[in-house]
Structure 1
């Protein structure tokens, strides 16, 4: 009798499994530690050979009015040769895509500059298809040796997640393709920048995220490769009054002195929980920007969108990815 009951129970469970709805797609993923190849500089003078490795994907179903927030963090070290390291997020849906990439060079282990040997990069963006869609975002690590020989780097770990980020058009701005030079004759650039925007009623705080990709030595200027470029980076978030007068300002700042051989560096500037002032004539109207100020050394530049990145190693497919960008997310 007990055996008969067991068979019935097993059959029932099998039928339930067949009729159960499919599990929902993952909204977060953890990257497995691994060694990643960095192809050597092609000796025939052709373009740099980049390795492009997919680390994991996340998925979110959004309505026509919803925006998604996706963020990926990666940490690498133990480079055998100085190596390019990029953290890229590629998001796709039927009929559209949106991508972002940030990167810098990782020094060889034992270089004597430990701050440039162990690098953690976070890439993030807001995605708004404008139609009901399933958004799938994949994280890629992009690597290339900066010597003639192949290199390897250790991906220590990382993760990616995607979450809903409210409704309506996202508050986001990217620096278009190109380089915005800063030097002694033009020491200040205010980019990336969010023009004036209004926040919907009910929000109490504002999270503002800015990333600057800063290039050491502008490509059209002379460069002392033994030198560095020093600059300060300040994220300003301004709230305004109904009469057009300034209500209040929040700011976060960092100063970096970047060696030439790092070449380009990611400068993250996040200002979370900026309070929305509701008294003294203040209204939920804001603007935000990063002030990049050259302080000395070699010429620098803010890098815009990266064009014509390879879809994969050896692929003929190409795509563009945002680099320097800023966005804001209202919070209740």
Structure 2
């Protein structure tokens, strides 16, 4: 059955454009090595084979491969943490080198920034960096209030760690590489029980206010094209005048996106205060539609329009 899953994964790679026809033999051999096999047997498709088996989802393919790996001693534990580490390793074999992805993005960007981000967003889903089959489990709805139509979301796609993985992480040797989950060193990293695998992850370089930053999507996608823009240097979050220059620099380059910075404070700020980053995407939040209750001007900046919006919390 493993040969069947290998064949289906290669077909998936061809269908999504992750690999090309010339890559087929190479990818098959790479998968054989991963599964400790010395030969490949082309599956024979019979006329009586149920049509449901002819087309398999990526989730089904990866689950089948991971089950095989556990049953044959290749995967040491069968919990969600270990399965995620292993199936990311599988997908990493199908993903092009960073330079290829960046060059493709730049080529499309010269035509239209929208085309570039559309390509990169689909690519990030096709590689399973964004797991479509988990994201669709999220609950989302809107509710009409005196403050307008508010968005309510319940994220169900981020897997909970199992007790064995938690225990293993506690005993694992502490590592400072990568320093956090936002660092550029995550690109291609194999991961460990206390750090996610990222062999299927690719980062787009951008320049903000003369500094080198990275552009990527959140693997959990809280809203459409939820992106993260992060400093290439592992430096703490800070909100200052330079922050505004960087934010405006980003929206100049990607005018169809919004971007914002969390406060550099605990609790009300971002979840990773040790690494400077912004969050953005292709979405309009309810707060952006809120009416302005009182306007004011800022001395020295006559062209800036400012105001306090009608909103239930301070902003």
- TM-score by structure 1 length? 0.24
Q: More strand per residue: 1 or 2?
A: 1
Larger RCO (CA under 8 A, 6+ residues apart): 1
TM-score w.r.t. structure 2 length?
0.25
More helix by share: 2
